[in-house]
Amino acid sequence: MFNGIDNSVKQNGRFEGLIREAEKEAMTHLAAGDFSSNEVIKVWREAFQKFKTKKGARSSIEALLKRVHRGDHIGAINPLVDIYNSISLKYALPCGGEDIDTFAGDIRLTRADGNEPFITLGTDENSPPHEGEIVYKDDEGAICRCWNWRESVRTMLTEKTENAFMCIETEELQISARKCLAR
């Protein structure tokens, strides 16, 4: 957790170089031309096969690596998002963050009931997770669907964020999720 942050967009120029450098480093994770045989991506695809997902949902690191592979630059959003995107690319791990001040109760990684409210960026439609889908959620609804696929507008990091929860998804977290799936 990070508290008392200045996440204003005026700070963004400092991080564009960080993103560009991370894009170059991400190429080392793209040795295999076929994404389905790429070890970084394969482990997440296998994890996603163990629970019900929205059709086409892929881990956040796969989406980032595909963009870099196509030559599409990752645009600056705000300092916290730029930092976690840079870390994701450099180490080929899904990363994310949420605005703590928007949480209702505690955040948890769990199976969805299937009725949690969820609205993602670019829409105003409620798109609740599937029953059994792995989600981050709080007492008000889903925060991130399909483990690390899409985040909720309600808790996303904005330039007004002052207190943030940051997450780096590692193999240890996959082990924890497997335990959750086994329940």
In a domain, 3, yes or no: no
- Phi-psi bin for 151: left (phi > 0), alpha (psi -120 to 50), beta? beta
In this predicted structure, what is the pLDDT of residue 169? Answer: 86
For residues 120 and 154, the answer to whether their CB atoms sit within 8 Å is no
Note the pLDDT of residue 14: 72
Please tell me the predicted confidence (pLDDT) of residue 10: 72
pLDDT (tens digit, 9 = 90+) per residue, 102-131?
999 999 999 999 999 999 988 999 999 999
Mean pLDDT of 62-68: 93
Mean pLDDT value across residues 4-22:
82
In a domain, 93, yes or no: yes
Domain count, the chain: 1
Tell me whether residue 108 is in a domain: yes
Per-residue pLDDT tens for 123-176? 999 999 999 999 999 999 999 999 889 999 999 999 999 999 999 887 655 555
Asked, for residue 121, whether it belongs to a domain, the answer is yes
Question: Do the domain assignments include residue 148?
Answer: yes
Whole-structure pTM value: 0.87
Torsion of CA 92, 41, 106, 110, to 10 degrees: -160
> What is the domain range of residue 106?
9-182
Residue 46 located in a structural domain: yes
Residue type, position 152, single letter? S
- Residue 67 within a domain: yes
Say yes or no to pLDDT of 84 above 70: yes
pLDDT of residue 161: 96
What's the CATH number where 44 sits?
A: 3.50.40
For residue 165, give both structure tokens.
């929860």
Q: Tell whether 4 is covered by a domain.
A: no
